[in-house]
Structure formats: structure tokens, C-alpha cells
Amino acid sequence: MKTDSLFYRLFQQLPTLVFDLIGLRVPDADSYRFGSEEVKQTAFRLDGVLFPPVENRRQPLLFVEVQFQPDKAFYGRFFSEIFLYLRHHKPGNPWQAVVIYPNRRIEENSDSHYDELLEGSRVHRVYLEEFTNEETNNIGVNLLQLIAIEEKRSVARAFTLVERVRNEPVDVQWKNQMLDLIETIMVYKLPRLDRGEIQRMLNINDVELKQTRFYQDVFAEGRQEGKQEGKQEGRQEGKQEGEAGLVIRQLTRRLGPLDPAAVERIRALPVPKIEALAEALLDFSERDDLDGWLKAQAE
């Protein structure tokens, strides 16, 4: 199971979750923006950065990394990326770092060069195994627990979490967003089942998921753009171009600028495959994911 994309998607939709994990309280934490940053003129890419509101120079800039594989060189690479970023961008905000491990056994630090950083107040290490049985009312932490627990316990935990989300006294949009995240996590954890089987198992219906803001943006706006284009070039062609354009914008927002050849391949897709891509891109974390999906359609 490729877990990084799950975590980064959670942090994009619930930026306050990182602060909850490390017990850090900052004002307007939900105003933070989560994204990735490339350190120019190097091969380094910081997969997760939480950016505070531009106008607030006192709130911390957070570098977030999910590390689920043993790697003796991890800290050397991670701190190099951070300090190169600080040198290049010169942010006015103070910085902190968060490393998320599944358990303490995965962490490897054979190099004493970084001991002062690891023991200082700037770096926070989170071990999900220590959260799995913890009772909490925090939905975001519950989602992380769902990723971390073993498969045989995950179905019962997911079902309980679905019912809890439905009973939360909050707006429908937020509930549907959380249901979508639960479903996506279970798709990763149970690759033998398709989305329809998982929806039935968890008593989630497709109508709820289609009410999320993403689906409203892509499909509702896509239909509107399709109608406008259709007045000039035909209804079906207009719908195809409108939805392709919206999916390209969503991909660009998630992955950065796209290769022109990939853009042309997306524009050439029929409407059903564009709609399939609109759903699949929720799980993309890098351009290779898109390339692999497009290659699979051509086979």
C-alpha cells in the first residue's frame, strides 16, 4: 500500500491534523496551506510543507515527511532539503519539522551529526503505532489510526468511523468529505475489493460522495462549461472539452505543471474516461501516477 499519498491528501484537507499530532497550538491553524516544494538546482523535493498565512510571520512553517521504510540516510537528506529550502527562499517565519513513522522500529539514526536537531524543540517525531489504540474525539487522528492499524481490524474501525462521522453536528459537505477519505483509505488497505464493494461494506452511498466539493467542481462546472462550448461546437464535444479542462486544472493544482504531451492525451479522452480520471487523480501524489494511469488506458 502506498501510504504517502494518503497522508498528504489528509494534510491537504485537514491541515490542523499535523498540529494535533504534535500538540502544537497556533492561531488560525486551518488557514495553513499544505503543498510540496522543489528546491531549485538540486534533485531535492520537499513532499510536504505547511505554509502559514502570508500575513503572519510569527507562525511556524512546518516541513512534514512520512517515512514508512527504514532508511539510514533519511535524516541527512531531510535536513539537507530543509536547509537548502531556507537558504533559497529565506522565509520570515520560524520553522519546525514533523516526521511520521509507523512505529519506532522503522526509524534509523546511525549518524550522531543530527542528534541536537532531533532532541531539540524544532523536530517532532510521531509514531503511529502509539496512536492506534488511543481513545480520541479527533476525526483526523481517527483517520490516521485507520491507516496504521492492521487489515483485519480496519473494516470494523472504518464502519464505526463512518457512523460517527454521520452523527457529527456539522455541515453535510464536511461529512461527505470525511466519508470520501474513509473510502479512499479502505481502497488502499483492501486492494482486492473495488470501490463499489467497499461502499456497500461500509454503507456509504455514491450520492454522498458525489456531493463533495471536488465532484461539484469537476462535474457540475464541467457540465456548465460543456453546455457553453456545445453552443459552438456541439453538445457532446463541448462537454468533453469542458470536463477535460477542469480535470487538467485539478491535476495541475495537485502535481504542478503537466507535460504538454500528457495534456493532449487527456484532451483526447472520451467523457467516461475523463470522469474516471477525475476520480483516480484523488490518489495521485506525483506525475508518475498520472503517466501510469494514461499508459494503462492505451493498453
- Please report whether residue 188 resides in a domain: yes
CA distance linking residue 168 with residue 120, whole number of Å: 38
Residue 231 maps to a domain: yes
Q: pLDDT per residue over 5-15, tens digit each?
A: 788 888 888 99
**Are residues 127 and 23 part of one domain?**
yes
Query: Can you give the CATH number for the domain in which 11 is found?
Result: 3.40.1350
* Backbone dihedral angles phi then psi of residue 4, each to the nearest 5 degrees: -55, -45
Same domain, 72 and 122: yes
Picking from 36, 39, 42, 93, the residue whose alpha carbon sits closest to that of residue 65 is: 36
Q: Using CA of residue 172, residue 173, residue 176, residue 177, what is the dihedral sign?
A: negative
What mean pLDDT is reported for the chain?
81
Confidence band for 105, pLDDT divided at 50, 70 and 90: very high
Question: Hey, what's the cell of 249?
Answer: 486544472
Same domain? For 63 and 81 the reply is yes
Last residue of a domain, one of 211, 234, 263: 211
Same domain, 206 and 217: no
Single out the residue in 163, 196, 211 at which a domain terminates: 211
Residue given cell 491534523 in the structure block: 17
pLDDT score recorded for residue 230: 40
Q: How many domains does the chain have?
A: 3
Furthest C-alpha separation in the chain: 67
* CB-neighbour burial class of residue 20 (10 A; exposed 0-12, middle 13-18, buried 19+): middle
> Where in the sequence is the domain holding 190, given as residue range(s)?
150-211
Using an 8 Å Cβ cutoff, are 229 and 241 in contact? Answer: yes
Same domain, 114 and 4: yes
Q: Are residues 199 and 231 in the same domain?
A: no
What mean pLDDT do residues 70-86 have? 92
Q: Within the chain, how many helices (H) and strands (E) appear?
A: 15, 5
Q: What per-residue confidence (pLDDT) applies to 79?
A: 94
In a domain, 161, yes or no: yes
Residue 138 lies in a domain: no
Query: pLDDT at position 43, please?
Result: 54
What phi and psi values does residue 67 have, to the nearest 5 degrees? -125, 100
Closest CA to 64 of 10, 1, 141: 10
217 shares a domain with 207: no
* Tens-digit pLDDT profile for residues 134-150: 777 888 889 988 988 88
- Is residue 189 within 8 Å of residue 1, measured between CB atoms? yes
In a domain, 143, yes or no: no
Select from 176, 195, 175, 174 the least CA-distant residue to 186: 195
